[in-house]
C-alpha cells in the first residue's frame, strides 16, 4: 500500500512539474511574440519619421529658391527710385557646409560697395549686414569662413566672419592705421578692438586668417563673391535666373 501511495505522489509531482514547464514555455513564447511585435511597430514608426524628415528637408531645399526670388523682387519694390540698386548684382554661393546656397548682393564694384549675405535657415530668410568693399568678399567654398576688409587713408581693416544658424558671426577684427597722414608716421594696431603691439597683431592675423588667403589675390583656393556669372538686379533677370532652380 505504501508503494502505491508513493507512486501516486511521484506521478502528481511529475504532472505539476510538466504543467509548470509548459506554462513557462507558453509565457516565454508570448513574451517573445510581444517583443517582436513592439520592435516591428517601433521600426515602422522610425521609418515613417525618417521619411517625413527627408520629405521636409527636400521641401526646404526646394523652397530656398522661391524665398530668394521673392526677397529680391520685394527689395526692388521697396526702392521707389531704384537708385540704390542701379549697379547692383546678385549671385549664389556655397559658404557654409550645407547644400543650400547663400544669396549675395552688392550694389556695385566701387570702393564703398559692400556685400549683403542673405541666408535661408529653417524655412526663413535671414538678412545680414553688409560687409567688405569694392563689392567683394573672400571665402573658400563650404569652409564657412568669410574674409572682408576696407582700406583708406593709409589704414587697413580686416574682418573674419562665419555663418551660424544663418546669421553672420564675427570671429576677428583687426585694424592697422597710421597716427597721422605724415609719410613717416608710426602705425597703430588693434585686435578685436584692443590696442596691441605689431607682434600681437601679426600673431592674431595668422591665427584667424587661413593659409589660403593672400592679399595679392593669387591664391587658387580663394574665391571672390562676384564674377562674370553675377546677375544684374532687374525683375526679368531675377525671374529667369530662378526659373529652373
Indicate whether 45 pLDDT > 70: no
pLDDT at 33: 54
User: Which one, of 86, 43, 90, lies nearest residue 68 by Cα?
Assistant: 90
Q: DSSP secondary-structure letter at 136?
A: B
* Least confidently predicted of 1-10, 30-39, 100-109, 114-123: 1-10
pLDDT digits (tens, 9 = 90+) for 2-18: 443 444 344 444 444 44
pLDDT at 57: 45
pLDDT confidence tier of residue 228, bands split at 50, 70 and 90: confident
pLDDT at 72: 94
pLDDT digits (tens, 9 = 90+) for 49-89: 445 444 444 455 569 999 999 999 998 887 655 455 667 89
pLDDT confidence tier of residue 215, bands split at 50, 70 and 90: low
pLDDT confidence tier of residue 212, bands split at 50, 70 and 90: confident
pLDDT at 222: 65
Averaged over 233-241, what is the pLDDT? Answer: 93
Q: Which residues pair with 131 in a beta bridge?
A: 115
Judge whether 182 and 190 are in contact, CB under 8 Å: no
Indicate whether 206 pLDDT > 80: yes
Question: CB under 8 Å to 205, separation ≥6 — which residues?
Answer: 158, 174
Q: DSSP secondary-structure letter at 133?
A: B
Using only C-alpha atoms, the chain has a radius of gyration, in whole angstroms, of 34
Compute the distance between CA of residue 225 and CA of residue 231 in angstroms, rounded to an integer.
Answer: 12
The pTM assigned to this predicted structure is: 0.71
User: Which one, of 180, 207, 205, lies nearest residue 190 by Cα?
Assistant: 205
pLDDT confidence tier of residue 219, bands split at 50, 70 and 90: low
Indicate whether 47 pLDDT > 80: no
User: Which one, of 147, 110, 112, 159, lies nearest residue 225 by Cα?
Assistant: 147
pLDDT at 91: 93
Indicate whether 221 pLDDT > 90: no
pLDDT digits (tens, 9 = 90+) for 121-179: 999 999 999 999 988 999 989 999 999 999 999 999 999 999 999 999 999 999 999 99
pLDDT at 227: 77
User: Which one, of 192, 196, 194, lies nearest residue 173 by Cα?
Assistant: 192
pLDDT at 104: 95
Q: What is the mean pLDDT of the chain?
A: 78
How many helices (H) and strands (E) in the chain? 3, 12
Amino acid at each position: 500500500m505504501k508503494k502505491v501511495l508513493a507512486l501516486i505522489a511521484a506521478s502528481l509531482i511529475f504532472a505539476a512539474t510538466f504543467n509548470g514547464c509548459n506554462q513557462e514555455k507558453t509565457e516565454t513564447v508570448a513574451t517573445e511574440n510581444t517583443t517582436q511585435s513592439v520592435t516591428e511597430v517601433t521600426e515602422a514608426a522610425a521609418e515613417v519619421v525618417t521619411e517625413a524628415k527627408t520629405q521636409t528637408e527636400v521641401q526646404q531645399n526646394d523652397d530656398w529658391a522661391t524665398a530668394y526670388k521673392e526677397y529680391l523682387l520685394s527689395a526692388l519694390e521697396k526702392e521707389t527710385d531704384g537708385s540704390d540698386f542701379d549697379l547692383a548684382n546678385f549671385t549664389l554661393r556655397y559658404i557654409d557646409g550645407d547644400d543650400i546656397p547663400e544669396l549675395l548682393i552688392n550694389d556695385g564694384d566701387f570702393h564703398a560697395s559692400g556685400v549683403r549675405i542673405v541666408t535661408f535657415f529653417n524655412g526663413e530668410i535671414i538678412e545680414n549686414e553688409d560687409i567688405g568693399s569694392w563689392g567683394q568678399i573672400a571665402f573658400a567654398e563650404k569652409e564657412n569662413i568669410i574674409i572682408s576688409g576696407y582700406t583708406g587713408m593709409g589704414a587697413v581693416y580686416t574682418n573674419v566672419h562665419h555663418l551660424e544658424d544663418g546669421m553672420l558671426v564675427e570671429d576677428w577684427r583687426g585694424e592697422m592705421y597710421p597716427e597721422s597722414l605724415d609719410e613717416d608716421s608710426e602705425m597703430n594696431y588693434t585686435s578685436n578692438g584692443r590696442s596691441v603691439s605689431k607682434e600681437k597683431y601679426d600673431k592674431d592675423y595668422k591665427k584667424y586668417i587661413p593659409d589660403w588667403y593672400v592679399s595679392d589675390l593669387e591664391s587658387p583656393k580663394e574665391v571672390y563673391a562676384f564674377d562674370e556669372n553675377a546677375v544684374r538686379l532687374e525683375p526679368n533677370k531675377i525671374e529667369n535666373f530662378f526659373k529652373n532652380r
